[in-house]
Amino acid sequence: MLKQSPAVDLILSRLLAVRQQSLALIAPLEPEDLCLQGMADASPPKWHLAHTTWFLQQFVLEPLSAAGERLQATHPPDGWSYLFNSYYDAVGSRHPRPERGLLSRPTIAAVLGWRERVDTALSALPELLERLPAARGEALLALLELGLQHEQQHQELLLMDLLDGFSRNPVLPAYDHGPAGPEALWLERLGATESSGRDLTWRRYGGGLAWIGHPGDGRFHFDNEAPRHRLWLEPYALADRLVTNGEFEAFIAAGGYQRPDLWMSEGWAVCQERGWQAPRYWRGDAEFTLAGLQQPRRADAPVRHISWFEADAYARWAGARLPSEAEWELASASDADDPLPQAHGLVWQWTGSPYRPYPGFEPAAGAVGEYNGKFMTSQFVLRGSCYLTPPGHSRPTYRNFFPPASRWLVGGLRLARDHR
Amino acid sequence: MLKQSPAVDLILSRLLAVRQQSLALIAPLEPEDLCLQGMADASPPKWHLAHTTWFLQQFVLEPLSAAGERLQATHPPDGWSYLFNSYYDAVGSRHPRPERGLLSRPTIAAVLGWRERVDTALSALPELLERLPAARGEALLALLELGLQHEQQHQELLLMDLLDGFSRNPVLPAYDHGPAGPEALWLERLGATESSGRDLTWRRYGGGLAWIGHPGDGRFHFDNEAPRHRLWLEPYALADRLVTNGEFEAFIAAGGYQRPDLWMSEGWAVCQERGWQAPRYWRGDAEFTLAGLQQPRRADAPVRHISWFEADAYARWAGARLPSEAEWELASASDADDPLPQAHGLVWQWTGSPYRPYPGFEPAAGAVGEYNGKFMTSQFVLRGSCYLTPPGHSRPTYRNFFPPASRWLVGGLRLARDHR
Amino acid sequence: MLKQSPAVDLILSRLLAVRQQSLALIAPLEPEDLCLQGMADASPPKWHLAHTTWFLQQFVLEPLSAAGERLQATHPPDGWSYLFNSYYDAVGSRHPRPERGLLSRPTIAAVLGWRERVDTALSALPELLERLPAARGEALLALLELGLQHEQQHQELLLMDLLDGFSRNPVLPAYDHGPAGPEALWLERLGATESSGRDLTWRRYGGGLAWIGHPGDGRFHFDNEAPRHRLWLEPYALADRLVTNGEFEAFIAAGGYQRPDLWMSEGWAVCQERGWQAPRYWRGDAEFTLAGLQQPRRADAPVRHISWFEADAYARWAGARLPSEAEWELASASDADDPLPQAHGLVWQWTGSPYRPYPGFEPAAGAVGEYNGKFMTSQFVLRGSCYLTPPGHSRPTYRNFFPPASRWLVGGLRLARDHR
Amino acid sequence: MLKQSPAVDLILSRLLAVRQQSLALIAPLEPEDLCLQGMADASPPKWHLAHTTWFLQQFVLEPLSAAGERLQATHPPDGWSYLFNSYYDAVGSRHPRPERGLLSRPTIAAVLGWRERVDTALSALPELLERLPAARGEALLALLELGLQHEQQHQELLLMDLLDGFSRNPVLPAYDHGPAGPEALWLERLGATESSGRDLTWRRYGGGLAWIGHPGDGRFHFDNEAPRHRLWLEPYALADRLVTNGEFEAFIAAGGYQRPDLWMSEGWAVCQERGWQAPRYWRGDAEFTLAGLQQPRRADAPVRHISWFEADAYARWAGARLPSEAEWELASASDADDPLPQAHGLVWQWTGSPYRPYPGFEPAAGAVGEYNGKFMTSQFVLRGSCYLTPPGHSRPTYRNFFPPASRWLVGGLRLARDHR
């Protein structure tokens, strides 16, 4: 029997608070926004709310029911599992991703009703856990934590996707320009960091044989952050701040988008085909944001919403390069007294590292093993976190990943160079 | 001065009633449905409501304002004209049709507010008309009538488009299964007609030199129905009823979708590429309708939602052919004592006539001249009207038209053959 | 027994002469040119030579063999029937058209060897015909004539396709600039016609009830030219010459390619998408031809290689319209003393008539019934013939047809207007 | 003055021998084959012959002429540089790759004539080198060596591309089945290696801090093989032979192409979309090769023409993984007494390493700097060499690279696993 009610209560209260936060995120939206899907890569807000609920239903509640535990009924109507599965092949077939915006039904009311039933069932888990053998209890706690982290990821995706969807509307809607809105948070953080816009300083690191990856000390991490392992690094230097809008404007003024010699061949082709001339949400000297069009764009703010290809081209133009993910992690983790500035909370930082498994990587058993491991081709790792990332969802070992042409995530860059 | 207030009042009261009916059409919808666009050819309900308002604003109210008439302010916010223009090149550029489903804003409330302002301004027109010179008054009345007819067309489109959108949702939503809903009307009309499902009888027509086209007697007609003109017809026969679901099932059972010899080459390619095996909304032995899935499908009901290619292949298989539009019009118009059964109110009837201008056709001057005339290639004419067509919107000379691969309109067929 | 050796001999000697002419057509080509396929709509020269042979093998020689007649062996190696069938579904599946350029094998030598065997077998037919019952003999003669006409069509296609293929090569190769080449013939014919470039005169025709279509008097015609039938025409006028390059330049200078009001909606979309700014083979003030780049382009020559959409837009701009195919045919056939100038031998002339079956049309039985009938959607009829059309392959009732966006055929236009 | 005539003569005689070998490669081809381009990724044989000549013209002869050296005239006709540039942006715009198969002109005779003029000019270089300052002479020698290596790469590409092109022809042509043909060489090498088909043995390697990359000892290497650098490896094991056809058949029989859990998500999507069911050239129990269809396929031969995705899925199914490129290089280079079997000369071996620059990588200055460096995204490294690789073109540090969905290169795999 598991005597860990405190841990359970703690996870559950955190999970339910995160679930509540998802509802808060859609509060500023109009009903029509709930079905908005700007492109195949993005999903509508309502879908995110339903999918995160499906995740808990599928991986937490269903297995308990299947194991004979008596829970409040939370099974959704027929067909919802097909609709709200994202990519778990082991669970069955699923609705095509590009058509999520066509799901005007089930209504938001029906989805929220389901969310509530699931949350109620989750609230009853502490009682159940007291009866569960320790191993099963531990596994259940781990799945609850995964459900929580998963929902946080979707909170960031929801806002990214919404910005994409709104950006395609010529009336340029604003999600929220209140003092507690995401853009206000961005500006507040910009104010708090002293480094933006000032001269760049290089921070030097000695390299050598080093360890990266999550230490596996019981704190939560995704499977792709493990195992912790050794690697060899040559001495290197990292910029002490992110590249700014002003600097990126200089790159554009210098013909950065017209010089194939600065670009990877694949990136140059994408750039030509899509007619890229500036970061994704720049509009003249303004920038489209979740608070609507911001004019003028702040020159001292970190550039955001650029692809890996643009980050890489910029770095080459600047006579530098992107950091490897190991370089970034070591710098970020190395020194509590003098932490790497702007590591978290502004923009995700593209690295030069393709997203591949760490040596000895093992995906989790079962369907949750599809969480990360099967995406390890043709993507690059980003490190840090951004202003849309929920609190508590950042750590030095976190590996975010996107294809190199992606621009709708909050991607920016920090320069690196060899130091010999 | 124009002493025609009765005419004005009549048109206006009809127009405002039609406008009111548009609102009634969206009453059964959930908010998320208002932005639903199932495919590039279709438009969301909210867009239809906004576009029909834009039409009146652009072609009725704007010119009056531009001519110095004092009207209540109805001009929409900047950019709405760009959003809600459908295809009028002369009016300027416009939002890409396939992206109408991305317009979660302006909200339905904002659109309805605009509708109300426009309707209020329209209500004041009788007073204005009294002051207007007769010619301008006549022109204004004609535009009001056009606005009315245009809105009726969009009422039918709205329901067609919605059926398409809902059909793409695995939960198969129903628009309305009440006794006043469109499917109830369909069934009621099926009951009223004695001909469905019974043996087919051929009605013979003598041919010869004949006149078709709208007589231009002052009653409303679209420009493409004129001018009335002579043509020569050989003797022919028309079926006295529409082809039924049961008959179409026999075509399928006989391998109709596997025999290229029955199909036009272009149609066979489309059929293979899209994997057609049955009419668009058949699901096994059921049929998806605006009242949801109807099981079993009625064998005696006219087949609906087939493309021209399927209608043509069926006719060939049946040893018959499609009627020409002239044959259909003459049969439909010929005899008040013995009218052509099932000519109107069930399904539009594909003809073998490509959609081209009548001899001597002249499009209207100005942007409204783009209404019909520029679509006269690669489409076929359909005659009659369907159960979604608003009351008062049917006549023997009406020329509907769609590309031959279209299946989301309510298209069916009536057989014809030579009679020599 | 059929005592018609003279007829047989005549057809055969004509057929073998036509077959010989196909070989003459590839004489100026380099080996690599034989596989050149510029686009999916076109075919390589070698394929044309093989396909016309397949046609005779499939529809003339095979049935005779199958009927037990002893013929020299002409059956090609396994798989060739699959390769060289064009579109006859009844004969079986076939190699995808867009991949004909990938058939570097069989070699030209192998193809020519097969041609020779087939021609030898054909040469033995007179003897066979003497033994054949009259009806079968007649049928055989009809198929031989069809094979001859079919090969002539492919001779024109071969040159059209080659011009397309060469036009995609930046070195702009010339097929032949000798005095007997096709471009020399074009110039010679231009010289012979007095009408090009001079002021346009309208020729008036009275209309009324008229007959069009092939009289079926025993002379060869394609199935789509029959049956001869009556129709009603209003009085009309036709230009006494074709529209010239100079006139088309004026259309361009007047913004013809920038004014959507001149275009059908479908054509405007195509024009925008493909960036049309001039006829297909214009290069600045030069024109690419089978004799290479001709500079300057002759202003008085008929414009060639324009689509139906461009022809239609030009006519609208010029305050005229395209003739119907009936108008063209009647004018062309009407008066031996005063024939319609430039009716034949320069450019095919787009008409305003969609390509549809004549009333009472019946395709031939069997696979040859696929020759014309299954293409009767989404195409327009062209009348006349062009400078690439082989001698003896023109007549007033001939119906050529292409989709309205096609530009690689030798299409031009003659203006028409109502005359009331 | 450079006293290195022996070095010059050596390079030149090797280069001219390689140039001669290119001509030998096309000897078995029919003229039509010279223009065959099966897909956008491939190029026609004639293009390869012209492009390798262009490379020498552009990077060796042109700069000498530009520097005032008197050379025999080798400049090609206008426009050829546009046609035969592959991807060097710095040199100017170029003919679109997917349209190389449309270049029926210049003819092979013209191309071979140019080759001969270039070779003649190259033959005169020793004399020139005697007059050149040492630094320029060294640079010239380096470019000649690069031209040689470049031509060898294209020799392999020519055969790969040809196999692709022939495989699309239903008559399945054979390039060459003589005793000196590539397939004969493949079989001979299979016979020479004792390891194919027998039980697999794991060879263990200790890992630790290791050096990889070309030592830069004056012998030729491509820029992407440098700089030599340190990295850390954990202990690992490599299979002592390649995976065989027989083993891959077992993977297929076990449902390998139906189990998404074995595949990367991107690979599974590609597999579904393209309908992969077996390696690219398997046809039932036969295999299509440059010697035509080989039936039955040899079970003990290494599997070839599989994508990275298939190699990765196979390894996962087999409970193993792909080696990293460092693991492969160290194993291959480590022990002269006990070399890694089947490292070279059979199939290229997919590694788990994305193709990225080595730490400190610097592309060469000028246009030749585009040789490798700009392709370092979304590709994987292959190591070893294959039976189509020219003699002298293999080494342990060689980094070949292709996108993970590529199957037309000769790609196979060797298993690896951790050894702890």
User: A134-152 pLDDT, tens per residue?
Assistant: 999 999 999 999 999 999 9
The model's pLDDT over D198-228, given as tens digits with 9 standing for 90+, comes to: 789 999 999 999 999 999 888 999 999 999 9
Q: Look at the block and give the residue holding tokens 């993977």.
A: D251
Q: Is B268 in contact with C89 (Cβ distance < 8 A)?
A: yes
Instruction: Identify whether C359 is preceded by a cis peptide bond (ω within 30 of 0).
Output: no
Q: Is A234 in contact with D359 (Cβ distance < 8 A)?
A: yes
User: What phi-psi label fits residue A393: left (phi over 0), alpha (psi between -120 and 50 degrees) or beta?
Assistant: alpha
- Which residues of chain B make contact with C404, given a CB cutoff of 8 A? 377-378
CA distance linking residue C143 with residue B399, whole number of Å? 42
- Which residues of chain D make contact with C95, given a CB cutoff of 8 A? 170
- Which residues of chain A make contact with B83, given a CB cutoff of 8 A? 170-171
Q: Which of C266, C268, C375 sits opposite B265 (nearest CB)?
A: C375
Copy the structure tokens of residue C12: 């055969």
> How much is the average pLDDT of D39-63?
97
Q: Which of B230, B266, B377 sits opposite C232 (nearest CB)?
A: B230
Buried b (16+ CB within 10 A) or exposed e, B284-318: eeebbbbbbebeebbeebbbbbbbbbbbbbbbbbb
Q: Which of D232, D352, D353 sits opposite A230 (nearest CB)?
A: D232
Residue A135's CB: how many other CB atoms inside 10 A? Answer: 9
Q: Give Cα separations from D207 to A126, A208, A326, D151, D334 (angstroms).
A: 48, 16, 19, 36, 12
Copy the structure tokens of residue B24: 């009634």
Pick from A356, A343, A341: nearest CA to A412:
A343
CA distance C173 to chain D (A): 7
With cut-offs at 50, 70 and 90, classify the pLDDT of residue A2: very low
- Which residues of chain B make contact with C353, given a CB cutoff of 8 A? 356
> How much is the average pLDDT of D183-204?
86
User: How many CB contacts within 8 angstroms connect chain B with chain C?
Assistant: 75
Q: CA nearest D167 in C: which residue?
A: C102
- Which residues of chain D make contact with A228, given a CB cutoff of 8 A? none
Q: Look at the block and give the residue holding tokens 């104010």.
A: A191
Q: Which of A232, A371, A375 to mutate to test the interface with D (most CBs of D within 10 A)?
A: A232
Q: Is A234 in contact with D377 (Cβ distance < 8 A)?
A: no
B152 Cβ contact list (under 8 Å, min separation 6): B18, B389, B390, B392, B393
Copy the structure tokens of residue C398: 């001939």
User: How many CB contacts within 8 angstroms connect chain C with chain D?
Assistant: 92
DSSP string, C342-375: T-SSB-EEEEEEE--PPTT--PPSSGGGGTTGGG
Q: Which of A79, A102, A107 sits opposite B165 (nearest CB)?
A: A102
Q: CA nearest B321 in C: which residue?
A: C360
> How much is the average pLDDT of D290-301?
96
- Which residues of chain D make contact with C83, given a CB cutoff of 8 A? 170-171
CA distance B268 to chain C (A): 10
CA distance B206 to chain C (A): 15
DSSP single-letter state for residue D60: I
- Which residues of chain B make contact with C89, given a CB cutoff of 8 A? 260-261, 268
DSSP string, D215-271: --SSS---GGG-S-EEEEE--EEEESSPPBHHHHHHHHHTTGGG-GGGS-HHHHHHH
Q: Is D352 in contact with A356 (Cβ distance < 8 A)?
A: yes
Any idea which of C41-50, C367-376, D408-417 has the lowest mean pLDDT? C367-376
CA distance A33 to chain B (A): 5
Whether chain C lies against chain B with 3 or more Cβ pairs closer than 8 A is yes
Q: What is the pTM of this model?
A: 0.96
Task: Answer yes or no: is pLDDT of C148 > 50.
Answer: yes
Whether chain D lies against chain A with 3 or more Cβ pairs closer than 8 A is yes
User: Which residues of chain B register pLDDT less than 70?
Assistant: 1-6, 194-197, 334
Subunits with 3+ Cβ pairs within 8 Å of B are A, C
CA distance linking residue A26 with residue A33, whole number of Å? 9
CA distance A127 to chain D (A): 35
Which residues of chain C approach chain B closer than 8 Å at the C-beta? 87, 89-90, 209, 229-232, 234, 260-261, 263-268, 308-309, 352-354, 356, 359-360, 370, 374-378, 404, 418
Q: Is B30 in contact with A83 (Cβ distance < 8 A)?
A: no
CA distance B181 to chain C (A): 35
- Which residues of chain A make contact with D354, given a CB cutoff of 8 A? 354, 356
The model's pLDDT over C25-72, given as tens digits with 9 standing for 90+, comes to: 999 999 999 999 999 999 999 999 999 999 999 999 999 999 999 888
Q: Is A106 in contact with B171 (Cβ distance < 8 A)?
A: yes
Residue C342 is which amino acid?
Answer: Q
Q: Is B102 in contact with A165 (Cβ distance < 8 A)?
A: yes
Pick from D256, D240, D252, D162: nearest CA to D196:
D240
Q: What is the pLDDT of residue A364?
A: 82
Q: Is A105 in contact with B77 (Cβ distance < 8 A)?
A: no
Q: Which of C89, C263, C352 sits opposite B356 (nearest CB)?
A: C352
Distance from the first to the final alpha carbon of chain D: 58
With cut-offs at 50, 70 and 90, classify the pLDDT of residue C266: very high
- Which residues of chain D make contact with C101, given a CB cutoff of 8 A? 101
Q: What is the pLDDT of residue D196?
A: 63
C102-106, C213-217, D197-201, range with greatest mean pLDDT = C102-106
The SS3 call for residue A123 is helix
Beta bridge partners of B237: B204, B417
* Of B130 and C228, the one with more pLDDT: C228
- Which residues of chain A make contact with D267, given a CB cutoff of 8 A? 377
Q: Is D267 in contact with A378 (Cβ distance < 8 A)?
A: no
- Which residues of chain B make contact with A106, given a CB cutoff of 8 A? 171
Q: Is B171 in contact with A34 (Cβ distance < 8 A)?
A: no
- Which residues of chain C make contact with D173, given a CB cutoff of 8 A? 104-105
DSSP single-letter state for residue B353: E
Q: Look at the block and give the residue holding tokens 């007179």.
A: C126
Residue A366's CB: how many other CB atoms inside 10 A? Answer: 12
Q: CA nearest B46 in A: which residue?
A: A32
Q: Is D104 in contact with C32 (Cβ distance < 8 A)?
A: yes
The answer to whether B305 and B406 have CB atoms below 8 angstroms apart is no
Q: CA nearest D376 in A: which residue?
A: A264
Q: Is D404 in contact with A377 (Cβ distance < 8 A)?
A: yes
C395 Cβ contact list (under 8 Å, min separation 6): C214, C221
- Which residues of chain C make contact with B268, given a CB cutoff of 8 A? 89, 374
Q: Look at the block and give the residue holding tokens 């590039």.
A: B40
Tell me whether residue A315 is exposed, middle or buried, using C-beta atoms within 10 angstroms of its C-beta: 0 to 12, 13 to 18, 19 or more: buried
Q: Which of C32, C77, C169 sits opposite D31 (nearest CB)?
A: C32
Q: Which of C307, C378, C419 to mutate to test the interface with B (most CBs of B within 10 A)?
A: C378
DSSP single-letter state for residue B357: P
Q: What is the pLDDT of residue C74?
A: 93
Which residues of chain A approach chain B closer than 8 Å at the C-beta? 30-36, 38, 46, 77, 79-80, 82-83, 95, 99, 101-108, 165-166, 168-171, 173
The answer to whether D356 and D376 have CB atoms below 8 angstroms apart is yes
User: What ipTM describes this predicted complex?
Assistant: 0.96
**Torsion angles phi and psi, residue A344, rounded to 5:** -130, 155
CA distance linking residue A256 with residue A250, whole number of Å? 9
CA atoms lying within 13 Å on the CB side of residue B149: 17
Whether chain D lies against chain C with 3 or more Cβ pairs closer than 8 A is yes
